[in-house]
Each structure stands twice: as structure tokens, then as C-alpha cells.
Structure 1
Amino acid sequence: MRHRLLLVQLGSMGSLDRVDLDLLNALADDHRATVVALAERLGLSRNTVQARLARLERGGVFQSFERAIPPLALGLPIEAMVSVTVRQAELPRITQAIATLPEVVQAYGMSGQVDLLVRVAARDTQHLFDVDARILAIDGVERTETSLVMGEVIGYRIRPLLESAREDAIR
């Protein structure tokens, strides 16, 4: 049976084939799996798996190798999303200024009425109020709107996309 390649553009890497997708699926099952364990599971040689992982890494497939540490473990039980509206011409400088705040866990550039969506962590509501005030005090920030995170209802996941991509590769 002949399989066409799935054309998933990854910068200079090109596309993912079925072996790449199987490898990524195995890593989604066990992100700490060793090269040897992945090779055994997929019926591939250790060298093949190692070469594929290196190519995927060079292609920018892996976002991070750091362990995710929840802010709660650091004594910061409150998380919030701060929607930030800025003067457009100053967005790069404002983003750099926001990145200096230790309470900022993540930030996204957005289209639409909000320019940045900033995820922050805080000890308590007063601390959150202070973080919001520091963001608002950055020259060029026009407005903020803060929403408390009540809980994660869908965590980061990639498996449905991998399964869909693998189905497309088999067709």
C-alpha cells in the first residue's frame, strides 16, 4: 500500500511522514520515553529514532524541554488573564517591558480589539491588583482588563491533531 506524505510545513524541515507522526504520538503518550523505549515501541532502530528526533528538533517541532511547574507550587495560587490594549507602534517595546515582570507566565499577541493576552500568577488579589497596575503603568499601554482563571477545563493537548494528521497521511 502506498502512502502519500502529509504536507505539514515546518519551516526548513519540509513535511512530516507517517513515521514522524507515529514517533510524535508515542511521545504524546510518554513524553519521558527514552530513545530505546521509543524504538522498541515503534519497531524501529535506535539510530533511526535518534535521527528522526534530531531532525524534528532542528525543524522546530518541540516547543520546550523544560518541566512545567505550576505557579501554585511557588506559592502563587491565583492565575489571571490580562487583556492589554496598546498603542500599536509601541507594541515591541511594551512586550519587552511586560516580559520583565516575574509574575508574567505567558503572553500572546492577538488580533482584534485586544493586542496582548497575558497570563499572570499572583499570591493573592492585592498582588494581582499590583501586577495589573504595573502593566497599566507601562508607557503606551492604554487599557487592561483582568479575568481570573477559575480552573483549566481543557489542558494543553496535541493528541487529537496528531491523530487527525496521521489519518490524513494514511489516506
Structure 2
Amino acid sequence: MTKLDRTDARLLLALCDAPRATGVQLATMLKLARNTVQARLARWDQDKVLAPIDRCVSPRDLGYPLKAFISVVVDQHRLEDVIAELEKVTQVTQVTGLSGAADLLVAVVATDADDLYRVAGLILAVPGVQRTTMSVAMHEVIAYRTRPLIEKLARGE
């Protein structure tokens, strides 16, 4: 069950098109009461519906053009410690828990191949990491997106 309804979806789509719009502007665009818009925006803040702005900044623009994914096999007794250590590695941009052959999928960025080698070594050196396998991202074919899901909700599907 979703926490968002069709009105939320319409508001999110408007924000996708005009991310700097004010509450009054959004209310006018969507023909909603200003209080309705403000209440929903406040609820989203409280519920952390929207991701932080840093998710919108490309690592490439920060000087990290190389992206890789590292599959990590972890000693299960040390999983929490491993995650805590990975969080300290600046160039780790995301860690996802997996089922299957690997336990974690770690997304990293680097300035060049030498930097990537260094970052991979930092991860392999974390106590509790048993094995890693790295894949370098050659080209992002479909970027992270939720707009199609928002559009589907807006249509009431």
C-alpha cells in the first residue's frame, strides 16, 4: 500500500518539472489550495519522502568520472561492523544488502583507474570482508528514476 495518493503524485510531477517552485506557485499550477500543498510538503519532510538534495548531484561534476560496483562477501558475524566501516569510505556512494552469491553491492566512484584500485583496496581491507568482485560501469543506460512510477500513480493505476 502506498503512502502517497494521486494528488501527491500530481504535486511530485509538478516538482519534477519545476523543482524550485514555491508552494504558492505549485498550488496555482495544480489548482489546489495553498494549505493543501503546504500540508503535503510538510508531511513529506516529516516522513522523509523526498531524498536529500545531494542525491541530485552527479559525482562526475565533483571530479569522480569513474563508477564501479563491488560485490562483497562478508563474514555474517561482522556484517554491521563492515557496513559501519564502508560508511567511512568517502567514495562509497551506496551500499545495498543482497541475497545470493554476494552479501553487499557497493557503489563507488573514483577519479581514475589508480584511485579506483585504491578504493577497492580500502574495501577489501575492511575486517570481515572475505572477498570482492568489481565491475566498472561503462555507461549508464537508464539512470535512477521514479517518474514513470509517479505518473502511474497520478493516473490512478
Q: What SS does the aligned partner of 1:142 have?
A: strand
How many residues get paired? Answer: 157
TM-score by length of 1: 0.83
Asked if 1:166 is matched to 2:157, the reply is: no
Q: Is the 8 A contact 2:7 2:154 kept in 1?
A: no
C-alpha displacement of 1:67 = 6.1
The match for 2:113 is 125
* Aligned ranges 1:55-66 → 2 under 5 Å: 55-66=43-54
Cα deviation, 1:117-155, whole Å, max 9, x if unaligned, reads: 111111211111111111111111011111111121111
**Counterparts of 1:109 and 1:67, CA distance in 2:** 19
**Counterparts of 2:148 and 2:55, CA distance in 1:** 22
Quick one: percent identity of the two aligned structures?
A: 45
The match for 1:101 is 89
Q: Which runs of 5+ in 1 are unaligned?
A: 1-6, 9-14
**Counterparts of 2:117 and 2:111, CA distance in 1:** 11
**Counterparts of 2:151 and 2:118, CA distance in 1:** 43
Q: CA 1:66 to 1:139, structure 2 compared with 1: closer, same or farther past 3 Å?
A: closer
The match for 2:58 is 70
* Aligned ranges 1:25-64 → 2 under 5 Å: 25-64=13-52
Q: Which runs of 5+ in 2 are unaligned?
A: none
RMSD in angstroms over aligned alpha carbons?
1.7
* Aligned ranges 1:75-94 → 2 under 5 Å: 75-94=63-82
TM-score by length of 2: 0.90
Q: Is the 8 A contact 2:59 2:109 kept in 1?
A: yes
Amino acid aligned to 2:123:
I
Amino acid aligned to 1:131:
V
